Each structure stands twice: as structure tokens, then as C-alpha cells.
Amino acid sequence: MNEALISLLEVKDLECITVKEICEKAGVNRSTFYLHYEAISDLVNETMENVNKRFLACFTQSEDNFAGKISGKKLEDLILVTHGYLIPYLRFINENKKVYRASFRNPNEMQANVRYRSLKKYILEPILKKFEVPEMRWRYYIAYYIEGTMAIIKEWLNNDCQ
């Protein structure tokens, strides 16, 4: 049902998708849907959690492991725009184009902003602290990093990840 939802989100806004459509696309009965979910929003949450787990598995270090070691890292090791961080990220996006296109098409419903909370809390904020950026400026640096990254991903997707 996750893949059926993603496939539908590529062409429709979430509020226009019905349980019937999801079930038809997934090849299951409505009763099967309601056995697992109370509403489509539950399926959306599950789908995004699964995507996040697959995403984190692409990296050699877990998010918690990296986050826990930030204070002991050298400043040059905290620059995340390197091959070591970008290549797994871009490869994952390329392999999951449907998810990312659906997420950009339906940002509120796919809770894109919620997905960045742990990135902000455990990665970006500790890095900004380590670089001694005044806390009153963090929101601007974080917005710049996240919005800039999203703009690059959108552009890359528009060019079919070439």
C-alpha cells in the first residue's frame, strides 16, 4: 500500500486520493486497508517512516552516532557538502524519485517539515554551536541549508537526476 500511495501522490494531491484508489492500485480489499489503518494519514505516516529508515541505512554512520560525536570532531569534518555525505543522499533520491516528487508535490500532507526536525536538532544545531554561530542566527542558517538543499533536489529531479 505504501508504493500504491506514492504512485498516486505523483499525479494527485493527497486530499484527492481515496481509500478505494489506494486499494485498487495495491490490489487489496478496502477491509485490508482498514485492518491496518484508520485513515489515509496513518498510511502516509507509515510510508514516510519507512522511507526515512531506508534513507538512514544508506549511510555508514547512523544519525545518532554522528550526532553523538559532533563535539569531538574537527570543524572540517562537520561540512556536510562532501562526497561522503552527498553521494549516498543523491543515490537514495535517484532510487526513490517517486517519493521525493510526491513529497514536493504534497509537502504539507507528507509532513516534509516534520522530517527535518531531527536533522535540525541532532545535526545542524550542534554543528552551528561547534562553529560558534550565535544562536539568534541559527534559524536563518538552518532555513538556508534546508531550503537550499530542497531547491537543488527539485532541480535535480526536474532533470531526471542527471
pLDDT digits (tens, 9 = 90+) for 25-56: 999 999 999 999 999 999 998 988 888 788 76
> What's the pTM?
0.70
Query: Which of 60-69, 82-91, 108-117, 141-150 has the weakest average pLDDT?
Result: 60-69
pLDDT of residue 25: 96
Q: What is the 3-state secondary structure (H, E, C) of 48-71?
A: HHHHHHHHHCCCCCCHHHHHHCHH
pLDDT of residue 50: 85
Q: State the pLDDT confidence band at 113, using cuts at 50, 70 and 90.
A: low
pLDDT digits (tens, 9 = 90+) for 62-90: 445 666 677 787 877 777 767 777 788 88
- Those residues whose C-beta lies under 8 Å from the C-beta of residue 126, and which sit 6 or more positions away, are 67, 70, 71
131 near 75, Cβ under 8 Å? yes
Tell me the C-alpha to C-alpha distance, in Å, between residue 144 and each of 48, 147, 158.
23, 5, 21
